[in-house]
Amino acid sequence: MNWFVDVVKKYAVFNGRARRKEYWMFTLIYTVIAIVLSVVDMAVIGSNVLVPILTVALFLPALGVAIRRLHDTGRTGWWVLISIVPLVGLIVMLVFLCADSQDTNKYGPNPKFAPAHA
């Protein structure tokens, strides 16, 4: 859960780098929260209102961690726009987000060598 909270604390930070683990843990927890909210929403309210609210609330943190993840692979954050291209763009973005970190690049030192979470 620390990974998710750390990303939310960096609400609109688009500079620096994010490890693969930080990105994918945020994505996993975000997905679990969205599924739980969807189930609760359909059971209690009978419509789908909570998930769009979650999506809007976490849009900037999700964008920020994706851009920082691209920085970690040595790419500019503008590559996030490739997601707009149907199918091919999503596949390319997935490959970029799964790629290993570069040692040191223009976005800073490798975050793998920073102190880990407890």
How many structural domains compose the chain?
1
- In whole angstroms, what is the distance from residue 59 CA to residue 25 CA? 16
**Is 94 within 8 Å of 69 (Cβ atoms)?**
no
Task: Answer whether residue 16 is part of any domain.
Answer: yes
Q: Quick check: is 118 in a domain?
A: no
Please indicate, yes or no, if residue 41 is contained in any of the structural domains.
yes
The whole domain housing 23 covers: 2-113
Residue 50 covered by a domain? yes
Are the CB atoms for 71 and 16 separated by under 8 Å?
Answer: yes
C-alpha 34/C-alpha 70 separation (Å) is: 24
pTM strictly above 0.75: yes
Q: Has residue 92 been placed in a domain?
A: yes
Whether residue 96 is contained in a domain is answered as yes
> pLDDT by residue for the chain (118 residues), tens digit each?
788 999 999 888 899 899 999 999 999 999 999 999 999 998 888 788 899 999 999 999 999 999 999 999 999 999 999 999 999 999 999 999 999 988 888 888 888 876 665 4
- Which of 12, 3, 11, 6 has its CA nearest to residue 32? 3
